[in-house]
Structure 1
Amino acid sequence: MLTSFQWSFLLARLAIGMSMFGHGLVRIPKLHGFSNWMLGQFQKSILPNAIVEPFSYILPVAEFSIGLLLLLGLFTRQALIAGSFVMIALIFGSSMIEEWGAIPSQLFHAAYFSILLCFVHSYNVFALDNLIKKT
């Protein structure tokens, strides 16, 4: 029987996992189009295409992978850390194109990852991580 704190952690982990998974899932099938859109967004920024283009192809895969890991509760700590770094990169990118409207959502995601990271060892009981520990 899960405690309220364990349920809370599970539901919060699933929510942020679904957000990341969904972002990646819808972008991967249209990866080239997403990349072209992102290149267009950064055309007038100081960031060169040599940085933006690879990032535009990596981002959806990272979102999908991080989301899937969080949904499964697999490598949860590492996925939360990776998610935070993705958000930091997105905040930097949004700043470079002065897309101030996107930053609150990115900050929210970063804070969400950070808060979950504080409690991962105590409350992440319903996760594949725990099956790996037992073997």
Structure 2
Amino acid sequence: MTDLSYLMLRLVAGVSLFGHGLVRLPKLAGFSQWMTGTFAKSMLPQRLVMPFSYTLPIAEFIIGILLMLGLFSGKAVLAGIILMLLLMFGTCLIENWEALPSQMLHALVLILLLQFIASNNISLDRFMHN
């Protein structure tokens, strides 16, 4: 049952990240404009915000797919945690306290996945290594 629980937790994280990226990719320029506008009065320079705003949806999309498939799972989980840390930092800088609990929940799910990575038996990783 642990393997199935791990699969479900991995799918929860994967679908969320995949969905975030999927809806943003078709409107990438608009998303970037929104994000750079949101951070315009923060201490982050626009030269950092702009590339991040274009990279974020692509990262969410790719990490989400990898998690859903269970492919390169350990690296995908670590990438997801790093992504959440970056998002949380930015959220704090613009004082968007309403978004922080959701990001912390995502991070917690990813940390649980990392903690119990040995239960990642229903995955492409396991299939490819057998």
User: Which residue of the partner structure matches residue 52 of structure 2?
Assistant: 55
Structure 2: runs of 5+ lacking an equivalent: none
User: Which residue of the partner structure matches residue 96 of structure 1?
Assistant: 93
The alpha carbon displacement at 1:133 in A equals 1.4
Q: 1:69 aligns with which of 48, 55, 66?
A: 66
The alpha carbon displacement at 1:131 in A equals 2.3
The question of 1:119 aligning with 2:125 is answered no
Q: 1:17 aligns with which of 14, 17, 34?
A: 14
Q: How much is the aligned-residue C-alpha RMSD, in angstroms?
A: 0.6
- Number of residue equivalences: 130
One-letter amino acid matched to 1:47: L
How far apart, in 1, do the equivalents of 2:124 and 2:12 lie? 17
The question of 1:37 aligning with 2:29 is answered no
How far apart, in 1, do the equivalents of 2:114 and 2:104 lie? 15
Structure 1: runs of 5+ lacking an equivalent: none
How far apart, in 1, do the equivalents of 2:8 and 2:105 lie? 16
Amino-acid identity (%): 52
Q: Which runs of 4+ in 1 moved over 2 A?
A: none
The alpha carbon displacement at 1:130 in A equals 1.2
TM-score, with length taken from structure 1? 0.94
User: Which residue of the partner structure matches residue 127 of structure 2?
Assistant: 131
One-letter amino acid matched to 2:113: L
Q: 1:87 aligns with which of 54, 61, 84?
A: 84
One-letter amino acid matched to 1:75: F
